[in-house]
Structure 1
Amino acid sequence: MIHAHTIGSTALQIQVPQFLQETVAGIIAFLPVLLSGIVVLLIGWVLGRVLGAVVTRVVEGIGLSKYTQGTPLESDRSGDGGIAGALGKLVKYIVYFYAALAASDILGIAILSQLLSDIGTFLPVVLSAVVVLVIGFVVGRAVGDIVADVVGGFNLGSYFHDTPLERVTRTAGGIGGIVGALVEYYIYFLTLLTAAGILQIPALSRLLNDFAGFVPALIGGVAVLIVGALAAEFIEDIVASTDRSRLTSLVGLGVKLFVYYLAITIALDTMGFDATVLTTLFTSFVTAFFGALAVALALAIGIGLGWGSKDYVADNIDDWMGSARDSAGDLTDESAGHGSSDEFGSSGPDDGPGGSGPSGTGGSDI
């Protein structure tokens, strides 16, 4: 028993050092590879920070930030460096990425290398989209400023005085500011559409294409609203200038509201919205209004005639009654005259020579 136990212990003592030796040998063999990967990561980290700082300084020297202020590319937060800092960070993280890819290849991590390789093939596409976004936003801002200056020189804001659009144009920097902003954001939209096509994102491209089809209708609807507002104010001024009465002012206000209604209805229809509700509402309103107006006119005429005739009857009732009494008396006298003439005519034959009346007796006596 003692001899067998001694033999097993000796075998175990032989096997354990062999396993440790193989483990230590593997670690020692992997150390150069691990150190190489760490060195690559350190170099990439240093190089990324240096290149990022260089790009930031170069972009700041070019003065690109003044062209991107007020655009989605320029952040409102302080201390991030704006577009220059964003581009510097982008370059820095790109260098970090390629350093990680090289380190994974050195370390022989197949899964990580495959993942980073797939991302690396897509990275130039992302960079192209970023470049398109930067250029498009800069161009949009520049063109928008130019259009705002040109349109603002025509002083179109004076035509919107005392209109609902006056406050909008005043807060937005006038008509020039509004038109310039529309042009600017339309260029932004085209830039996003181009970037989505570069990135080959079907859902985003389809969404932007659908919106692109709606943009002309939207612009047409806005133009109809602007023209309608100008026409409404112009027509109201014409109607109000014909007379200074309260009724004329009310008629001018009604005409203005009617023109606004037409402009809103046509604008919504131009934009592709269903304006049936507004049409039905307007028809019902007009029917109810004119119906109520007819009833009011009928009541006013009836009450006016009744109330006015009361005073007229009270003033003339005595004359009418006197005329009626006189007419009745004349009719009575006239009837009495006709009765007496008939009585004398019937006794005439008795008064003749053969009659028995007084005149006839007297004649016989003679």
Structure 2
Amino acid sequence: MAVIKEKLWTKEFLFISLINFIITLMFYLLIVTIASYAQSEYGATTSTAGLVSSIFIIGSLIGRLGAGRVIGNIGTQKTLWIGLIFFTITSALYFATFNIGLLIVNRLLQGIAVGIAGTATGTIIAQILPNTRKGEGIGYYSLSAILATAIGPFLGILLLKMDGGFQWIFAMNAVLSVVCLVIYAIVKIDVPLPKAPNQDMEKSSFISKFIEPRAIPISFVALLIGFSYSGVMSFLSFYADEINLVSAASYFFLIYAIVVIFSRPFTGKLMDTRGANIVTYPCLVLFAIGMFLFSQATAGWMLLLAAALIGIGYGNFNSIAQSVAVKVTPPHRFGLATSTYFILYDIGLGVGPFLLGFVVPYSGYRPIFLSMVFLILICIPIYYLLHGRRDKELLKIS
């Protein structure tokens, strides 16, 4: 008897993925240009300009921390409306930031909006995907963010070259935020608010109202892996200049994105049928090999091969880990699981460059990236202890 494959590419799935793409696109477009705007428009110092850029991340963490709780109370649909409306308002406010203080406040507020909206979109995807195809579906969904990370910075740099470039950027930000509202109004998603069992409500602690404890183990591994990759994301241009591979480095994230796009459909399906372990262990090993090659690169082909290996390893680990965070969690706490995962993951990405930046002047870039190889390898037994040894049980349940 033939097995009927549950539908994945629904209108709801495509539209929510498109909303996530647009929001992530604007995030990366602004984060590579806003520091220059602060300096040219308000004469901000380098440190203040850096704050204008990075405070968005702090806002996103605040938004994610509260979003999981809000989703549990009012549902994902209303929460996403709140996030998108808030995002639209803060997009328009860029035209009213008459001093550096207002710009910083608006960046913080828009970060909160993106944290709320991003958590809601991720939760909706987890809710509408069939259980048998969650890994595959989340893998496809997360490609929307991967594409945005490649296109956003490119668009930002392109717009900066135009006359009145910053005004064009803010106008695009405002228009696309309205587009998100229109798309969401059209899609009309109907996801019922899952009811928690009475015993679960009685035993819930204050912390569990904001964090999903069952998602913490895999999210902690994601924090360490995010930390390992954060130096590549933040210091690539400086490192490439130091080792005289600037030309090859300009293709690094393009190669990374292409490899992720072509590999994620296979890794997602493999997780759904064979469990997370069969994907996670090879991904961590390939990420370590890619990071080692990256730390020792002396030629362009070495740097680009490292990009491919990091794309397969790190790029696929993210979607698998996010899928695990959802799968170990009951449906009524999907929102908290999604926010917990991204809170810890974003902490790793955000804290990494800050801490590593203190060490770079004393050690240089190569030792920093080489030390990340050991951290990635340490994550293998950590993953086994926190989740891997119980993955077969999860596969049987799902």
Short-chain TM bin: under 0.3
Find the structure with the greater CA-based Rg.
Answer: 1
User: Higher RCO, 1 or 2 (CA under 8 Å, sep at least 6)?
Assistant: 2
Give TM-score scaled by structure 2 length. Answer: 0.20
- TM-score, with normalisation over the residues of structure 1? 0.21
